[in-house]
Amino acid sequence: MYLHKIIYMNDLMNTILACWIGFTDIKASKDNSDIGLGPIAQAVASREYDEICLISDLQSGDTESYTQWIKSKTKSPIKVYQEKLSGPTVFSEIYESAVRVVEDIKKRHKEDINLTFHISPGTPHMAAVWIILSKTRFPAEIIESSLKYGVRTASIPFDISADFIPDLLRKSDRNLERIAAGFSSDAQEFSDIIHRSDTMTRVVVKARRIAPRSIPVLIEGESGTGKELFARAIHKASPRKEKPFVAINCGAIPVELVESEFFGHEKGAFTGASSSRIGHFEAAHEGTVFLDEIGELPKDMQVKLLRILQEGEVKKIGTTITRKVDVRVIAATNRNLIEEVAAGSFRNDLFYRLAVAVIKLPPLRERQGDISLLIDQFLSRINQEGVNEPGYRHKKISASAKNIMLQHAWPGNVRELQNTLTRAAVWSLDEVLDDEDIREALLQVPERGHGVENILNRSIEQGLDLPQVIKTVAVHYLERGLSECHGNKTQAAKKLGLTSYQTLSNWLKKYGLE
Give residues with Cβ within 8 angstroms of 207, minimum separation 6. 190, 230, 233, 234, 237, 359
Contacts of 254 (CB under 8 A, 6+ apart): none
Q: Tell me, yes or no, whether 104 lies in a domain.
A: yes
Find the angle CA(437)-CA(441)-CA(446) to the nearest 5 degrees.
Answer: 135
Contacts of 245 (CB under 8 A, 6+ apart): 231, 232, 235, 284, 287, 288, 290
Q: Do the domain assignments include residue 88?
A: yes
The confidence score (pLDDT) of residue 454 equals 57
Residue 479's pLDDT is: 83
Please identify, among 445, 461, 491, the residue that sits at the C-terminal boundary of a domain: 445
The CATH number of residue 88's host domain is 3.40.50.10770
In a domain, 47, yes or no: yes
Would residue 162 count as lying in a domain? no
Q: In whole angstroms, what is the distance from residue 35 CA to residue 127 CA?
A: 19
Range of the domain at 488: 451-514
Assess if residue 62 is contained within a domain: yes
Decide if 349 contacts 306 (C-beta within 8 A): yes
Residues 506 and 457 in one domain: yes
Q: Are residues 145 and 35 in the same domain?
A: yes
Q: Is 7 inside any structural domain?
A: yes
**Which of 412, 445, 478 is the last residue in one of the domains?**
445
Return the half-sphere exposure (C-beta side, CA atoms, 13 A cut-off) of residue 134. Answer: 27
CA atoms within 13 A on the CB side of 429: 0
- Whether residues 231 and 124 share a domain: the answer is no
Q: Using the 8-state DSSP alphabet, how is residue 317 labeled? A: B
The vertex-373 CA angle with 101 and 185, nearest 5°, equals: 85
In terms of domains, do 266 and 232 share one?
Answer: yes
pLDDT value at position 34? 67
- Pair 149, 20 in one domain: yes
Same domain, 349 and 409: no
Cα–Cα distance, 268 to 320 (Å, whole number): 14
**Cα-based angle 144, 146, 149 (whole degrees, multiple of 5):** 95
Whether 440 is in a domain gets the answer yes
Same-domain status, 76 and 87: yes
- Rounded CA-CA distance 145/43 in Å is 7
User: Considering just the CA atoms, what is the radius of gyration of the chain in Å?
Assistant: 29
Whether 183 maps to a domain, the answer reads no
> In the listed set 395, 426, 445, which residue is the last one of a domain according to the structure?
445
Q: What is the pTM of this model?
A: 0.56
For the chain (514 residues), the mean pLDDT of every run of 10, in chain order, is 41 83 90 78 91 93 93 93 87 90 90 87 91 85 87 68 45 45 61 88 92 94 95 95 95 88 85 85 95 92 90 89 93 90 90 94 88 92 88 88 87 94 93 93 64 58 71 84 79 86 84 75
For residue 456, the domain's CATH number is 1.10.10
If asked whether residues 225 and 303 sit together in one domain, one would say yes
Domain containing residue 415: CATH number: 1.10.8.60
> Are 138 and 192 within one domain?
no
Question: Burial code of 182-209, b = ≥16 C-beta within 10 A, e = fewer?
Answer: eeeeebebbeebbbbbeebbebbbebbe
User: How confident is the model at residue 327, as a pLDDT?
Assistant: 95
- How many domains are there within the chain? 4
d(CA 485, CA 465): 31
Same domain, 491 and 414: no
Together in a domain, 146 and 6: yes
Same domain, 355 and 456: no
